[in-house]
């Protein structure tokens, strides 16, 4: 696991950090070729979200998100975006390439591992597919599972570090 991925995991919500470490470890073990996983985005501030939402609306460029500040699971540290790092040097978002020649695209090997851990993949969305995106939509708590929708998360109290109290 590379240093950048580790730094991004450390900023995720504490309830998912260990699970994300395990997912990335499993992905890296499954990918026996030249590709390894890098988290390109984890926790995102409301300010960062507003800037992304403005692209294609207020600023030039193609729209990159339909989520305003507070409407992205990234804003709560419960989502990650990934890429494949080829030979530790080149970022790739190629979902078809099979770098380890095991007859399964490396990207989909990772999609399966995230799914096994209960993470939703943006590639399964009906509209505005987001292939690099994975989010934890159900959090296990002492009181039972909690659906982690942005509407629910937005209303939750926060701890001293700014994380929603789950």
- The string of pLDDT tens digits covering residues 33-80 is 999 999 999 999 999 999 999 999 999 999 989 999 999 999 999 999
**Residue 41, domain member (yes or no):** yes
Q: What is the CATH number of the domain that holds 97?
A: 3.30.1380.10
**Residue 49, domain member (yes or no):** yes
**Residue 106, domain member (yes or no):** yes
Map residue 59 onto helix, strand or coil.
strand
- Indicate the pLDDT class of residue 148, thresholds 50, 70 and 90: confident
- How far CA 62 is from CA of 66, 72, 159, in Å, comes to 11, 18, 35
- The string of pLDDT tens digits covering residues 71-120 is 999 999 999 999 999 999 999 999 999 999 999 999 999 999 999 999 99
**Residue 75, domain member (yes or no):** yes
Strand partners, 83: 38
**Residue 158, domain member (yes or no):** no
Q: Which domain holds residue 122?
A: 3-137
**Residue 150, domain member (yes or no):** no
- Indicate the pLDDT class of residue 166, thresholds 50, 70 and 90: confident
- The string of pLDDT tens digits covering residues 1-45 is 999 999 999 999 999 999 999 999 999 999 999 999 999 999 999
- Indicate the pLDDT class of residue 162, thresholds 50, 70 and 90: very high
pLDDT mean across residues, the chain: 95
**Residue 149, domain member (yes or no):** no
- Who's near 134: CB < 8 A, 6+ residues apart? 79, 80, 81, 82, 114, 119, 120, 121, 122
Residue with tokens 């969305």: 125
* Type and span of the H or E element at 151: helix 150-155
- Who's near 139: CB < 8 A, 6+ residues apart? 15, 16, 78, 145, 146, 148, 166
Number of domains in the chain: 1
- The string of pLDDT tens digits covering residues 119-144 is 999 999 998 899 999 999 898 877 88
For the cut 80, the answer to whether the pLDDT of residue 151 exceeds it is yes
**Residue 30, domain member (yes or no):** yes
pLDDT at site 72: 96
Cα–Cα distance, 40 to 35 (Å, whole number): 15
* Type and span of the H or E element at 17: helix 14-30
């Amino acid at each position: 696991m590379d240093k950048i991925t580790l730094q991004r995991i450390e900023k995720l919500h504490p309830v998912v950090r260990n699970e994300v470490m395990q997912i990335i470890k499993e992905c890296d073990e499954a990918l026996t070729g030249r590709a390894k996983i890098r988290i390109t985005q984890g926790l995102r501030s409301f300010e960062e979200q507003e800037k992304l939402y403005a692209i294609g609306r207020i600023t030039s460029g193609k729209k990159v998100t339909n989520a305003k500040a507070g409407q992205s699971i990234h804003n709560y540290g419960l989502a990650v975006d990934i890429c494949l790092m080829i030979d530790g040097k080149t970022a790739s978002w190629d979902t078809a390439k099979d770098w380890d020649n095991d007859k399964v695209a490396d990207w989909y090997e990772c999609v399966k591992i995230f799914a096994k851990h209960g993470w939703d993949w943006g590639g399964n969305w009906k509209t505005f597919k987001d292939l690099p995106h994975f989010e934890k939509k159900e959090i296990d708590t002492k009181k039972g599972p909690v659906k982690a929708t942005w509407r629910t998360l937005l209303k939750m109290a926060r701890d001293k570090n700014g994380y929603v109290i789950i």
